[in-house]
Structure 1
Amino acid sequence: MSLSITLVSHALCPYVQRIAIALSEKGVAHERVTVDLANKPGWFLALSPLGRTPVLRVGEAALFESAAILEFLEETQPHPLYPADPVERARHRAWIGFASECLNDIAGFYTVPDSGTLERKAAALHARFRVMEGQLGPGPWFAGEQFSLVDAVFAPVFRYFDTFDRIGDFGVFDGLPGMAEWRRTLAGRPSVRNAVVAEYPGRLADFLRRKDSALSRMMEPSCLTLRQSA
């Protein structure tokens, strides 16, 4: 008998989205439970030593940290999302780590207190994406015709910019046609669309607005627009 699988998630967590996309691409039946990280229930803290999402419950076991969960899914579930060649597989793992660094940069971008630092953070993101642009092949996916885990982990990176673009023009994708096209193609993938709930844009906007940051102060004239588009 196969073990039941439950994805314990938070509504805005990009690392949860990675796992949701991988589960969908692999056709893995699972349940999804969402927790409030501002009011963590005791049962969740018992499963997650770091108090973070995602957690994947597999039968009675609890797996934490998205990289470990992705590796588990690759080892145990059908429809591999890593290339078969060991060198290419290692290269993909490295670019998955690069995506995590992009997420760290994004967190820095939406929390900085002043506009000058915000511009520098946007430039740093542009520099990251320029490096990635040089790695893209003919598409439509990172590895060509085959959707991979690199695609799965960059989709949540790009999703932030659906909201950022409504706030202002930060030039992050300027002169990067490959990245812009990859972003558009990923946005249309069913597994990517379904990795978040319909209310995600509004929830992200509210989250950003509460940060008392340079970005949140730019949002004031567009709050209504953001809410209506959610």
Structure 2
Amino acid sequence: MAKELILLDEWLSMFGMRARIALAEKEIEYEYREEDLDNKSQMLLQMNPIHKKIPVLIHNGKPIAESIIIVEYIDEVWKDKAPFLPSDPYQKAQARFWADFVNKKIGDVGGRIWAGKREEIEVAKKELVENLKELEKVLGEKAYFGGDTFGFVDIALIPFHSWFYTYETLGDFKVEIECPKLIAWAKRCNQRESVAKSVAHENEVYDFVLQYRKKLHLD
């Protein structure tokens, strides 16, 4: 299977972490190839010529790009393991909606914190907290976003927990104070082997961001 399945990825990428978690949940063997995003491989450029970004899952020579699409592809192809998406059409649509919300309201806003100028951080921080509170409402008292089962929205969101420390340090706030149920959920997710072995450590992320910001003179 490793020869048939290749993941082009970058270890600190929250989007790449999604693909790794999904593959681990389904217990799928694959070949991992770390990309240097400052010197992208020919394979990456050939397999994702439109966006030229990671992650890219290559299955039997055919590329699948965009992390949420990759997670859904894995779910559809490897059906012998527990599904990520619910079977009910409405619940499935809701899961897709909230995964898209994570991309736009957590990913994009978080990017304005870690890669933004100092004066942009305060505004982005407030937006991020508001958006996390919306997700906490959706989570409610459930163990996972889908109920008792770890699934699609959990996979979409949990990689960002590795970046929370960086957001908090740059923005001078604490997610746990604002969204305690969300942090309890994150701790639950991180106890899963599939998550624990697939996500970057918060200190690795922070060190990378410090170097990035120093390089671009953002502070």
TM-score by length of 1: 0.83
Give me the whole-angstrom Cα distance separating, in 2, the residues matched to 1:12 and 1:2. Answer: 22
- Structure 1 residue 104 and structure 2 residue 108: aligned? yes
Give me the whole-angstrom Cα distance separating, in 2, the residues matched to 1:39 and 1:162. Answer: 28
Aligned to 2:182: 179
- Structure 1 residue 195 and structure 2 residue 159: aligned? no
- Structure 1 residue 148 and structure 2 residue 118: aligned? no
Q: How many residues align?
A: 214
> Any conservation in 2 of the 1:9–1:34 contact (CA below 8 Å)?
yes
The structure-2 alpha-carbon separation of the partners of 1:97 and 1:191, relative to structure 1 and needing over 3 Å to count, comes to same
Give me the whole-angstrom Cα distance separating, in 2, the residues matched to 1:164 and 1:106. Answer: 7
Q: CA deviation at 1:3?
A: 7.7
Secondary structure at the aligned position of 2:6 is classed as strand
Give 2:205's aligned amino acid.
Answer: L
Worse-matched range after superposition: 101-110 or 66-75: 66-75
Secondary structure at the aligned position of 1:20 is classed as helix
Aligned to 2:213: 211
Name structure 1 gaps, 5 residues minimum: 218-230
Give 1:40's aligned amino acid.
Answer: K
- Structure 1 residue 70 and structure 2 residue 68: aligned? no
Aligned to 2:134: 131
Q: CA deviation at 1:33?
A: 0.8
> Any conservation in 2 of the 1:122–1:172 contact (CA below 8 Å)?
no
Give me the whole-angstrom Cα distance separating, in 1, the residues matched to 2:31 and 2:199. Answer: 14
Q: Deviations over 1:48-85 (max 9, x none)?
A: 11110011110111111122212211211132111111
> Any conservation in 2 of the 1:122–1:171 contact (CA below 8 Å)?
no
Name structure 2 gaps, 5 residues minimum: none
The structure-2 alpha-carbon separation of the partners of 1:173 and 1:122, relative to structure 1 and needing over 3 Å to count, comes to farther
> Any conservation in 2 of the 1:111–1:211 contact (CA below 8 Å)?
yes
The structure-2 alpha-carbon separation of the partners of 1:160 and 1:22, relative to structure 1 and needing over 3 Å to count, comes to same
Aligned to 1:43: 43
The alignment yields a C-alpha RMSD, in angstroms, of 2.5
> Any conservation in 1 of the 2:165–2:206 contact (CA below 8 Å)?
no
Q: Deviations over 1:182-217 (max 9, x none)?
A: 1221222211111135xx54542232112149x974
Give me the whole-angstrom Cα distance separating, in 1, the residues matched to 2:92 and 2:32. Answer: 29
Give me the whole-angstrom Cα distance separating, in 1, the residues matched to 2:132 and 2:203. Answer: 26
Give me the whole-angstrom Cα distance separating, in 2, the residues matched to 1:183 and 1:216. Answer: 30
- Structure 1 residue 28 and structure 2 residue 32: aligned? no
Secondary structure at the aligned position of 1:134 is classed as helix
Give me the whole-angstrom Cα distance separating, in 2, the residues matched to 1:137 and 1:26. Answer: 26
Give me the whole-angstrom Cα distance separating, in 1, the residues matched to 2:136 and 2:208. Answer: 29
TM-score by length of 2: 0.87
